[in-house]
Structure 1
Amino acid sequence: MYGETLAVRNAGISLARGEVVAITGQSGSGKSSLLYCLAGVLPVARGEVCFGGRALSDLDDEALSTLRREQFGFVFQYGELLPELTIEENTALPLRLAGQRKAEAHMAAAGILSRLGLEKLRERRPSQVSGGQCQRVAVARALVHKPAIVFADEPTGSLDSGNAAAVLKEFLSLARSQGTAVVLVTHDSQVAAQADSRYTMCDGELTEQARKAS
């Protein structure tokens, strides 16, 4: 809710392990607000957001922060990598924040970077690689700790069509292979078509549009 305006209403959505859900809609329709409510970043004024059978509203700030750090991953439109860290350090960050030893965290980071074809860029900084490569690093960082869910807000929106298709394919393939669910906000119908189920937001209301046959 923003002032007296409900940004999201009548929005019911559920995710299974490894499922990819796309949310589409025009700018200002409430897509990103819904995403951040689901991730526990924005509080909900009405209704509940539950994870593992427990309402996020029942968690105190410390428990909610721990949940987001350990069970959730995030990919943003422009990557949001830390410029002062190397590619490997950026990727290892979720593991380091969770208390994992540096050597173990960097080994895991190197492994996932290799899977994404980025092993030769490990010691570079974000300013030294391309936009498409930065976005692959953002995907690696979101998935390195094998979270239950990744929340992705226009993850290919800043890329050209060729890079966008490649990054999306790698992202969803890796997420599905490790059983990580994905909530994907996008304005691109071709991106949404890669999801297992698709929803449309309009004036804050969510409608299911399509679900792939199992």
Structure 2
Amino acid sequence: MDIILRANGVGLTYGTEQAVSNADFTLKRGEVAAIMGSSGSGKSSLLYCLAGVLPPTSGTVTFDGVQLSHLPDGELSALRRTRLGFVFQYGELLPELTVEENTALPLRLAGISKAHAHVMAGQVLKRLGMGDLLRRRTSKLSGGQSQRVAVARALVHRPDVVFADEPTGALDSVNAAAVLREFLQLARRQKTAVVIVTHDAEVAAKADSQYTMSDGVLTQRVAA
């Protein structure tokens, strides 16, 4: 498998605070990688550098052979919209929209017709056990249901990479395990690579490769 995402010597500072220090990271196509660390370790800051949301203070991030810092803002936004997906701890769904409408958003933003986008959204939602709730507003969902919709929205356009920031951190253990299992099963079926930021060792254990982060320093864990 070839490399879809690479970071070389990435650093990020906020004022005088060094959030990320000289981080090296590689992600193969279809691979699931976990970055584990406690709150404040810098793992979320690194995630947003890898996703092109935050420009690093130093070092480079390369996506599919293209250095992100070389892209104009419009091209970078288009790349994030079409080739990347995002799952956040609290879903970040639009409460005024239905399950189906939230899931279809990336497709509609890419110019796909409403009818086709809703068909594609329905297919992904069914795989995640949400096929009976297409017309329900997301404000009426449970936490586990909301995260399934967030996962569906992140994967519906078959991105190359999904970035997940504590995707199960707000769920109880039963829902967390189920959502993570369904998320990774669908991602692997689609050959979508995933970067998961987590403080949970059980979540990290499901990844193909594991990194730890402490005080801004990233270290790859080597399997025993």
Q: Same-fold call, TM > 0.5?
A: yes
Which protein has the bigger strand share? 2
Distance between the aligned counterparts of 1:67 and 1:211, measured in 2? 33
Match of 1:77 in 2: 89
Distance between the aligned counterparts of 1:100 and 1:40, measured in 2? 24
Match of 1:132 in 2: 144
Q: Are the aligned partners of 2:81 and 2:110 in contact in 1 as well (CA < 8 Å)?
A: yes
Aligned 1:54-65 pairs, distance under 5 A? 54-65=66-77
Match of 1:168 in 2: 180
Task: Please provide the CA RMSD for this pair.
Answer: 0.9
Match of 1:120 in 2: 132
Match of 1:159 in 2: 171
Match of 2:79 in 1: 67
Q: Percent identity?
A: 68
Q: Are the aligned partners of 1:72 and 1:151 in contact in 2 as well (CA < 8 Å)?
A: yes
Distance between the aligned counterparts of 2:141 and 2:17, measured in 1? 41
Distance between the aligned counterparts of 1:163 and 1:134, measured in 2? 11
- Residue 22 of structure 1, aligned match among 16, 29, 34: 34
Residues 1:211 and 1:19: Cα distance change in structure 2 (over 3 Å)? farther
Using the size of structure 1 for normalisation, the TM-score is 0.97
Match of 2:57 in 1: 45
- Residue 89 of structure 1, aligned match among 87, 101, 104: 101
Distance between the aligned counterparts of 1:136 and 1:119, measured in 2? 11
Q: Cα deviations across residues 28-62 of structure 1 (Å, max 9, x unaligned)? A: 11000000000000011111000011100000110
Q: Are the aligned partners of 1:76 and 1:155 in contact in 2 as well (CA < 8 Å)?
A: yes
Match of 2:24 in 1: 12
Q: Are the aligned partners of 1:108 and 1:144 in contact in 2 as well (CA < 8 Å)?
A: yes
Q: Secondary structure at the match of 1:50?
A: strand
Deviation at 1:191, TM superposition (A): 0.4
**Higher RCO structure (Cα 8 Å, ≥6 apart):** 1
Q: Cα deviations across residues 122-147 of structure 1 (Å, max 9, x unaligned)? A: 00011212110000000000000000
Q: Cα deviations across residues 9-36 of structure 1 (Å, max 9, x unaligned)? A: 1211111111000001111110000000
Distance between the aligned counterparts of 1:26 and 1:164, measured in 2? 18
Q: Are the aligned partners of 1:196 and 1:211 in contact in 2 as well (CA < 8 Å)?
A: no
Distance between the aligned counterparts of 2:73 and 2:34, measured in 1? 28
Q: Are the aligned partners of 2:96 and 2:139 in contact in 1 as well (CA < 8 Å)?
A: no
Unaligned runs of 5+ in 2: 1-12
Deviation at 1:211, TM superposition (A): 4.7
